[in-house]
Amino acid sequence: MNLSDIKKVYFVGIGGIGMSALARYFHGRGVEVHGYDKTETLLTKKLVEEGIHIHYEEAPERIPEGIGLVILTPAVPATHRELAYFREHGYPIRKRAEVLGIISRGMKAIAVGGTHGKTTTSSLLTYLLRCGGIDCTAFLGGIALNFGSNFVEGHSEWVVVEADEYDRSFLHLSPNVAVILSMDADHLDIYGDRETLLETGFRAFARKVESGGSLFVQYRWRELLGEMPGLHSFGLEGGEYRSENVRVENGFFTFDYRGGGHHFKGLQLALPGRHNVENATAAISVAVGLGLEESAIREGLRSFRGIRRRFEFLYRDGQSAYIDDYAHHPSELEAAIGAARELYPGKRITGIFQPHLYSRTRDFADGFAAALDKLDDILLMGIYPARELPIEGVSSELLFGKMTNPSRRLADKATLMEAIKENKPEVLITLGAGDIDTFREPITAYFEERK
């Protein structure tokens, strides 16, 4: 398919973070962009402001004539009326990942994969490259605060993309450089079991790296890939490319980096948490491989502002703080809670968690319970179903029963604000990938009023 021939494109599920980045890509090239999404959000409102046409009901009669390409997300059910209309009338339909693969194959691609940290690492890498003079394009899985967008338009041959393991989407990519941050069990609704995830997912992705290219994998996962050309390891205190001597100084996570013949001392990262130092280690390793100077890397790390909903500070003063984080897997919860502990030793940490997907809650119930028990107080909300129907016996009560934290309680959207006011939190962190972000403004207002 020649994308340059497309004059009008339609997105089924345009409000998704990956879909909206593609929509912005086409819009920036003068293509007329239309789309459907289930609900209006801050992101869809912004797309409309930019000149993209969106409606919010399944209405085939709202579809304009002359659509040259239909792009859909795997989250859209097969029974969707508009999707059925497109199939019935023979429109060319492609998954988001297929289109991203077509775009990236015409460029030199850097693909960032792994079950955690993709968005932060790909956004930081994009920022470092641009600080170092490489005007790369990027398709990101979150709103990077330095760019104010999930799509960054560049004019060089390089493109940075997230390599999403869900639905095996990343197998549409053939990168020149790839990163694998982690290979924890996830998306078992797609893969069935962890070994299938490894073999038909991450190992297959690793084999997609172009001949002569490079693959950087976190050193603890290195042996799972076996021997292959261009493979390098990275990590904290381990790997060929490593960061060490990690400490907190003057509000920055500070560390030394060694790899590829380079030794950078006292690098300062504005993002909190050792997991983000490890993400930064991957980004630095790719950057030095592309010839970036130390000064650009040093400045980029210090001035990178992070991602919306990735340990994002919405309020902080000398006594209290409110942080919002997208964490929706036990490992991500542990990383976010651990970062809060390091930044606020001695403070009482209160968490509000909204589980995401019935299947994920079922598959990782023990892990979720263990991670949430590391909070001082926990408010546990109902499961956000996203694309799924309920599963019998799977609910927030399942997690609640497995937890041992005596300071835990169930909450719903109607009672959440009252529960927060009763708790009087010192450090509050909202956690989850559903619609818990709709409480960002009222919670921030509560902290501001309380002060």
Other residues' Cβ atoms within 10 Å of the Cβ of residue 177: 23
What are 91-106's pLDDT values in tens digits? 999 999 999 999 999 8
Nearest to 124 by CA among 326, 310, 336, 304: 304
Q: 218 and 293 in one domain?
A: yes
CB 58 within 8 A of CB 82: yes
What is the rounded distance in angstroms from the CA atom of residue 319 to the CA atom of residue 123?
31
Q: Residue type for 324, please?
A: D
* CATH number for the domain harbouring residue 188: 3.40.1190.10
Element (H, E) at 25: helix 17-28
Q: 263 and 350 in one domain?
A: no
* CATH number for the domain harbouring residue 349: 3.90.190.20
Structural domain that includes position 55: 3-95
Q: 357 and 227 in one domain?
A: no
Element (H, E) at 179: strand 177-180
Query: Once rounded to an integer, what is the mean pLDDT over residues 271-277?
Result: 91
Nearest to 129 by CA among 160, 174, 161, 173: 160
What is the rounded distance in angstroms from the CA atom of residue 34 to the CA atom of residue 189?
31
What is the rounded distance in angstroms from the CA atom of residue 32 to the CA atom of residue 257?
46
Q: Is residue 200 part of a domain?
A: yes
The token duo for 336 is 């976010």
Q: 241 and 133 in one domain?
A: yes
Site of tokens 């005596």: 406
Q: Where are the alpha helices (DSSP H) in 132-257?
A: 188-191, 194-197, 204-206
404 — phi, psi (to 5°)? Answer: -110, -10
CB 108 within 8 A of CB 174: no
Write the CB contacts of 422 (distance below 8 Å, at least 6 apart in sequence).
Answer: none
What are 121-160's pLDDT values in tens digits? 999 999 999 999 999 999 999 999 999 999 999 999 999 9
CB 248 within 8 A of CB 342: yes
Q: 327 and 297 in one domain?
A: no
| Domain end residue (candidates: 286, 303, 320) | 303
Report the number of distinct structural domains present in the chain. Answer: 3
Q: How confident is the model at residue 319 (pLDDT cuts 50, 70, 90)?
A: confident
What are 348-390's pLDDT values in tens digits? 999 999 999 999 999 999 999 999 999 999 999 999 998 789 9
Q: Is residue 422 part of a domain?
A: yes
Could you give the 3-state DSSP secondary structure of residue 322? Answer: strand
What percentage of residues in the chain have a pLDDT greater than 70?
Answer: 98
What is the rounded distance in angstroms from the CA atom of residue 61 to the CA atom of residue 152?
33
| Domain end residue (candidates: 279, 303, 327) | 303
Q: 87 and 120 in one domain?
A: no
Length of the chain: 451
pTM (two decimals)? 0.84
Q: 446 and 361 in one domain?
A: yes
Q: Is residue 243 part of a domain?
A: yes
Q: Residue type for 312, please?
A: E
* CATH number for the domain harbouring residue 83: 3.40.50.720
Q: 219 and 137 in one domain?
A: yes
Q: Is residue 102 part of a domain?
A: no
Q: 285 and 172 in one domain?
A: yes
| Domain end residue (candidates: 233, 268, 303) | 303
What is the rounded distance in angstroms from the CA atom of residue 239 to the CA atom of residue 223?
12
Q: 152 and 275 in one domain?
A: yes
Q: How confident is the model at residue 41 (pLDDT cuts 50, 70, 90)?
A: confident
Q: Is residue 101 part of a domain?
A: no
Q: 257 and 182 in one domain?
A: yes
Q: 401 and 361 in one domain?
A: yes
Q: Is residue 80 part of a domain?
A: yes
The token duo for 225 is 């890939």
What are 47-91's pLDDT values in tens digits? 999 999 999 999 999 999 999 999 998 878 889 999 999 999 999
Write the CB contacts of 49 (distance below 8 Å, at least 6 apart in sequence).
Answer: none
